[in-house]
Amino acid sequence: MKSRIVMLAVVAGVAIAAQDAHGLGTKEKGCLVGGAAGGVGGHLLGDHALLGAAAGCAVGTVVQDQRQKKDDEAKRHEEEQRKQAHRQRRHDEAVRREEVVRSDGTRSY
Residues 65 and 57 sit within 8 Å (Cβ to Cβ) = no
Note the pTM of the prediction, 2 decimals.
Answer: 0.57
- The single-letter DSSP state of residue 101 is B
Q: How confident is the model at residue 96 (pLDDT cuts 50, 70, 90)?
A: confident
**Nearest 5°: phi and psi at 48?**
-120, 50
At residue 32, the pLDDT reads 83
- What tens digit of pLDDT does each residue of 59-78 get? 988 998 999 999 999 999 99
Q: Counting Cβ atoms within 10 Å, is residue 95 exposed (0-12), middle (13-18) or buried (19+)?
A: exposed
Please say whether the beta carbons of 11 and 36 come within 8 A: yes
Tell me what the mean pLDDT of segment 6-17 comes to.
74
Cα separation of 29 and 69, whole Å? 15
